[in-house]
Amino acid sequence: MTDLSPLPGPASVAVAALDGRFFRPPLPDGYVLRPRLCERLQAGLGGRLLLVCAPAGFGKSSLAVEFCQSLPGHWQSLWLGLSARDSDPGRFLERLLEGLQDYFPELGSRALGLLKMRQRHQPFAFEEWLDGLLDELALHLQPTSPLLLVLDDYHLAQGPVLDRCLQFFLNHLPDGLLVMVTSRQRPDWHLARLRLSRQLLELHEQDLRLTHDEALALLDRHSSSLRGEALENLIQRSEGWVAGLRFWLLAVSEAGSDAALPQALNSGEGLIRDYLLEEVIDCLPAEVQAFLYDTAPQERFCSELCDAVRESHDSAEILRFLLAHQVFLVPLDEHGHWYRYHHLFSDLLRSRPIARAIVPAATLHLRACRWFNAQGLLDEAVEQALRAGHLDVAANLVQNLSEEQLLAEQNVGMLLRWKMDLPDSLLISTPRLIVLYSWALGLACQLDAAEELASHLSRFLPAPSATAQKSMLAQWLALKGIIARGRGHREQTIEYCSEALESLPAKRYGQRLMCLSTLSNLAIADGDLWRARGLNRESLELAQRVGNPLFEALAHYDRARVLQARGEIVRSLDEVHQGLERLRGLSAQRLYAVRARLTLYEGFLLAMRLQPDAARVRLQAGLSEARACRDISVLIGHCVIARLDGSRGDYARAFAELAEAERLMHIWDVPPIYYLAMITLVKCELWLAQGRIDLAEAWLARLGQTYTGERAAAPPEFHPQLPLHVELQQALLDVIQGQPMLAEGRLNVLLENGQQTGRQLLSVMALTQKVALLVNNREPEARKALAQAMEAASGGVLQPFECLVKDHADWLRGQLSLNAPGLVGQQLLEHFPPPALRTVQDSPITEQLSSRELAVLRLIAQGCSNQEISEQLFISLHTVKTHASHINSKLGVERRTQAVARAKELGVLS
């Protein structure tokens, strides 16, 4: 259908004259405006072509309507909605010319006559005809009133001859005319020259996908029934597909009640299926439809995999066809090698029974299994074997997974998924499967299950040889050491891991590295940082010898943790970056627990550097990968984010973050000893900040009973210094409860501990709390403690000073201004709020201070006592105190040091 936009001027006349044929369709009811896309299209107004190419239902036509409505006032628009009848170039050009004549009545009268006289069965010189028309059109177009020509649904009319006509049309487009094309299929035009000259602006499927906010706006506008998890699931499954969301909305609007909502959503699925079948699948050639059904069971595919599954050699050609016709292919890499189908599209293909299916689904999966295995993609090969129902094949493939690969990747979520599909009889059928799954369960913190499964190794003793016997026992010892560490049994951990290190064969380097990492973590908990450093060095050297980047990254992670305990935050960050750099060459598509841990730890260290925004970005990235790997390092992410939320006063969000961490631990069936103390300690910090003293007091007491004393449990792996942090929180509680001497005693013990063991971070934390305790009553001691804290913080830690910046900003700024602040002081000054100008009068401060007060202030700045000022100025001690009081009042401060700092800021003192 040929349409013309109803703009003022000639267009309005055309509508009446042609009985509504020239009409731009209105926007759909409830359409969500997309200004971000219109802004991008606006950037192409100076070019020749705007090309919007995407699959069915992505809102191409609606976007074109919105764009036409948002055009600047001097623009005109001509809308041509195309159909299959317009595939005849003569008919298309005739309609185009008729539309143009409504703006330029004198245009092409002879050319139109030639078109009407032509016979369809006879050849027609379209290029020669267009050449003359474009020359004539150039005389009518005015740069001050440009025209946008919209060709909507071009794919319906597309054909070789029409493509050539439009290619010629674009190549010779006169100034003042811009073409906009919407199509499901990419036009067969040569566009390189237009791209090179920036005359082309393209929007594709990825651009047209609704953002989360746009999808939320669309759903909120039409339905109040959808909310919470159901709403989020709907947005996620739609993948930004406008039509899918609208079909669901249609079904929900007919539900009538919340109780009918699940059935309504299923009805929405039926509407989507009908639409995809009618608009997409049934329009494709039979061989392409067969390809879709054969490849739909694959989560991802490439042409080689498709050839193997279909036992054919034409998959690359069919994939090119699907790409050209925009059939819901989603690229997974920048090279156009791996793809997947849109989730709703693949759901339809998988659910639709095909009576003509020649190859059973199980056979297709088994072929895929062989192909993945030949490519060395073991995890995907196992998945395909399980989906084919060949459990024995899957078990044999799992046995090809080395302990070293398992321990390096630590993607235990994958192994545990396989375990659910494999019968117990298969799991205990070979020592190799027992060892692999015992390690997987141990890493997943399923300690009882790991120990029970490992006990089945006794069925295979004695081993066929003394070497095999020694190796099996050594692996059992290493596993027992990891389990003992998880349970908080310090002595057993040391015993088992040490024995395992003595007897593990060289080829079991993965288990040796796990033992070294475990002992290093325990050494941090014991405060033996020198031993931890030695174990780290041994780990890194071993990982470098075997050339495994994952184990090298793990060694860098362990070293970063030791450096952090020593207060070397900058060096710790550098260690984390080295580990991430070592992983840079690995696939971004695969999941690695060590990469997640490094990313999370980077976020934690950035928070220690008082960079909360950067910290959140890294923490969220690490959380995503850690959750996918089922790695309990998610605790670090959630706890640090909760502390960041608490520091800005958003306690509701902070507690929600901790609740999410607890929820995950329950779902993963992780024993409370792994996570409860960590989460509770952060809660105590939040409770103290809120003034909920009773809760903090009760839980700090329970934590102290568990992790201090003769029979104390070893602290959890992800917080090896937890008992010391409990004491820090207890000291803060003492202060709040009016027991400053008790608090000071605790802080002095912690300070001594930190100095003796080299735990500089602990020293900084204790000293900053001590400064806050002493600043109001014992300022000289507070100044001394601050100097010690600044020296101990030379490794780059800033977060412990945050309480001083918030609660004693003027005093701390004054102290930093008295002397050269050093690097740590300079960095702290960047986090101070801007000082408020506090003057009693509008006159300059120098006019407010008398000459005698200025003289007293200068001597105060030199560090003179009141007695020394009295002697130098020959005034009484009482007069000195009076002047000092007046100075503080006029400068708006409370103490001498603050007065000096304030005077320097105002330029009173040089």
What's the rounded Cα separation, in Å, for the pair 146 and 148? 7
Burial of 175 (0-12, 13-18, 19+ CB in 10 A): exposed
pLDDT greater than 70 at residue 794: yes
pLDDT for 21 equals 47
**Helices and strands, counts by H and E, the chain:** 49, 8
**Helix, strand or coil for residue 435?**
helix
pLDDT for 254 equals 53
Question: Cβ distance 480 to 503 under 8 Å?
Answer: no
Give the model confidence (pLDDT) of 365-383 as tens digits.
999 999 998 888 888 898 8
pLDDT for 261 equals 45
Strand-pairing partners, residue 80, are 2, 151
Per the model's pLDDT, the better-predicted residue between 199 and 873 turns out to be 199
pLDDT greater than 80 at residue 712: no
Per the model's pLDDT, the better-predicted residue between 364 and 590 turns out to be 364
**Cα–Cα–Cα angle for 441, 442, 445, nearest 5°?**
90
pLDDT for 845 equals 53
- Considering the chain, what percentage of its residues have pLDDT values greater than 70? 89
Question: Cβ distance 476 to 457 under 8 Å?
Answer: yes
pLDDT level of residue 579 (50, 70, 90 thresholds): very high
Q: Hey, what are 793's tokens? A: 């913080």
Highest mean pLDDT among 2-6, 51-55, 855-859: 51-55
pLDDT level of residue 221 (50, 70, 90 thresholds): low
Mean pLDDT of 583-608: 89
Burial of 545 (0-12, 13-18, 19+ CB in 10 A): exposed
Give the model confidence (pLDDT) of 240-251 as tens digits.
777 777 776 666
pLDDT for 18 equals 36
pLDDT for 560 equals 93
Mean pLDDT of 50-67: 88
Rg (C-alpha) for the chain, rounded Å, is 37
Give the model confidence (pLDDT) of 249-274 as tens digits.
666 555 454 444 445 445 455 667 67
What's the rounded Cα separation, in Å, for the pair 66 and 153? 16
The bridge status of strand 76-81 relative to strand 200-203 is unpaired
Which residues neighbour 121 within 8 Å (Cβ) at sequence distance 6 or greater? none
pLDDT for 112 equals 73
Per the model's pLDDT, the better-predicted residue between 758 and 114 turns out to be 758
Give the model confidence (pLDDT) of 432-481 as tens digits.
888 888 888 888 888 888 888 888 888 887 878 888 888 888 888 888 98
The bridge status of strand 2-4 relative to strand 177-183 is unpaired
pLDDT for 225 equals 57
Give the model confidence (pLDDT) of 277-334 as tens digits.
777 777 888 888 889 888 888 888 899 999 999 889 999 999 988 887 777 777 777 7
Lowest mean pLDDT among 93-97, 730-734, 906-910: 906-910
Mean pLDDT of 726-738: 89
Q: Hey, what are 582's tokens? A: 């070592």
pLDDT for 352 equals 67
What's the rounded Cα separation, in Å, for the pair 608 and 263? 50
pLDDT for 466 equals 81
Burial of 460 (0-12, 13-18, 19+ CB in 10 A): middle
Per the model's pLDDT, the better-predicted residue between 834 and 457 turns out to be 457
Of 275, 273, 254, whose CA–CA distance to 264 is shortest?
254
Question: Cβ distance 412 to 630 under 8 Å?
Answer: yes
| C-alpha distances in Å from residue 632, one per residue of 411, 624, 627, 680 | 11, 12, 8, 16
User: 825-831 contacts: CB < 8 A, separation 24 or more?
Assistant: 825/790, 827/610, 827/798, 828/798, 828/801, 831/610, 831/798, 831/802, 831/805
Which residues neighbour 847 within 8 Å (Cβ) at sequence distance 6 or greater? none
Q: What is the 3-state secondary structure (H, E, C) of 828-840?
A: HHCCCCCCCCCCC
pLDDT greater than 60 at residue 20: no
pLDDT for 457 equals 80
pLDDT for 844 equals 52
Q: What is the 3-state secondary structure (H, E, C) of 821-884?
A: CHHHHHHHHCCCCCCCCCCCCCCCHHHHCCHHHHHHHHHHHCCCCHHHHHHHHCCCHHHHHHHH
Which residues neighbour 224 within 8 Å (Cβ) at sequence distance 6 or greater? none
* Amino acid at the residue 261: L
Lowest mean pLDDT among 61-65, 131-135, 205-209, 814-818: 814-818
pLDDT level of residue 413 (50, 70, 90 thresholds): confident
pLDDT for 621 equals 92
Strand-pairing partners, residue 76, are 147
Highest mean pLDDT among 11-25, 185-199, 598-612: 598-612
What sign has the CA pseudo-torsion 319, 325, 331, 335?
A: positive
Lowest mean pLDDT among 24-28, 286-290, 496-500, 792-796: 24-28
Ramachandran angles phi, psi of 179, nearest 5°: -105, 135
Strand-pairing partners, residue 3, are 79
Q: Hey, what are 87's tokens? A: 């595939």
**Helix, strand or coil for residue 223?**
coil
Mean pLDDT of 586-604: 88
pLDDT greater than 60 at residue 111: yes
Highest mean pLDDT among 18-32, 529-543, 808-822: 529-543
Q: Hey, what are 103's tokens? A: 């703006």
pLDDT greater than 70 at residue 355: no
pLDDT for 124 equals 67
When the pLDDT of each residue in the chain is averaged and rounded to a whole number, the result is: 82
The bridge status of strand 329-331 relative to strand 147-152 is unpaired
pLDDT for 382 equals 87
pLDDT greater than 60 at residue 16: no
Q: How many CB atoms lie within 10 A of CB 313?
A: 9
Ramachandran angles phi, psi of 756, nearest 5°: -75, -35
Question: Cβ distance 364 to 294 under 8 Å?
Answer: yes
Of 644, 589, 594, whose CA–CA distance to 614 is shortest?
644
Which residues neighbour 742 within 8 Å (Cβ) at sequence distance 6 or greater? 734
Estimate the share of the chain in helix, then strand, then coil, as percent rounded to the nearest 5. 65, 5, 30
Q: What H or E segment, with its residue span, contains residue 28?
A: none
Lowest mean pLDDT among 22-31, 226-235, 766-775, 866-875: 226-235
Question: Cβ distance 341 to 328 under 8 Å?
Answer: yes
Which residues neighbour 582 within 8 Å (Cβ) at sequence distance 6 or greater? 549, 552, 553, 556
pLDDT for 419 equals 78
Of 862, 852, 856, 849, whose CA–CA distance to 889 is shortest?
849
What sign has the CA pseudo-torsion 903, 906, 909, 910?
A: positive
Note if the pTM is more than 0.85. no
Highest mean pLDDT among 717-731, 815-829, 866-880: 717-731
pLDDT level of residue 49 (50, 70, 90 thresholds): very high
pLDDT level of residue 557 (50, 70, 90 thresholds): very high
Per the model's pLDDT, the better-predicted residue between 893 and 117 turns out to be 893
Highest mean pLDDT among 745-754, 872-881, 891-900: 745-754
Highest mean pLDDT among 15-29, 207-221, 788-802: 788-802
What's the rounded Cα separation, in Å, for the pair 410 and 546? 18
